[in-house]
Structure 1
């Protein structure tokens, strides 16, 4: 994955439906606060910072440190530490669904904002801390 550039605010202004645009604005504020970085477009993904990852399987590439994508059905949050790292927090989050490394929120306003912040902050700390045994992660920007 690579930074494609572009105007994040213009991208978010075009997000539909309006509820998803509202969610994108809330996630922008949250991830700015947690990361201390400005967002950049990685295609249709809004990322904060960048890192190089290498998993024990040999899979490697580049990724935002934390990121989300405003999709029509739900906002997708990308968590490089994997969903399993957040089991207890997810039980307290509120309405959501998950994939291996993705958290899907159909309504950001319906989840507990403190718990959501804890999940995003923990994932950010995992990446900036190097990834531990799960993966080798090197912050590049």
Structure 2
């Protein structure tokens, strides 16, 4: 059976942020922490060793694979800051067009620093992602 590595745990979010080497990235991580808590309404929790997640949902795919994941989150990685939003949401792309300087992969949106993005659009992305996931995977 496949074992998920990215599980919610009791590690300290603040201790994790304090270990970020780059002072500017650390400052941005604290700003993101405030934005995500305020916008999502959920407390910050560590998911795996390096993702700060907010809220959670349980998913189950047609293949039978299921698990839990944060509704939204971020990780101040060495190269860039990774932001985690719902991937299947059609409004995500519209919002990203107004977001500012970023790149995106399948599941992540990458930014260099908060100064490169529109924080109001970030808040919209957080809100929209949570709404989409809660409608797609309603809690039982």
TM-score where L is the length of structure 2: 0.85
Give the unaligned 5+ runs of structure 1. Answer: 132-136
Give the unaligned 5+ runs of structure 2. Answer: 1-5
- Aligned equivalent of 2:114, options 91, 103, 108: 108
TM-score where L is the length of structure 1: 0.84
Structure 2 residue aligned with 1:5:
10
Matched, 1:67 2:78: no
Measured in 2, the distance between the counterparts of 1:6 and 1:101 equals 23
- Are 1:66 and 1:123, in contact at CA under 8 Å, matched by a contact in 2? yes
Matched, 1:47 2:42: no
Flag as ranges the 4+ runs of structure 1 deviating above 6 A. Answer: none
CA spacing shift, 1:104–1:7, aligned 2, 3 Å: same
Q: Which runs of structure 2 are paired with 1:1-141 in the superposition (5 Å)? A: 1-43=6-48, 44-82=50-88, 85-129=91-135, 131=136, 137-139=137-139
| Cα RMSD (Å) | 1.9
Higher relative CO (Cα under 8 Å, sequence separation at least 6) belongs to 1
Between Structure 1 and Structure 2, how many residues are aligned?
134
Measured in 2, the distance between the counterparts of 1:22 and 1:112 equals 17
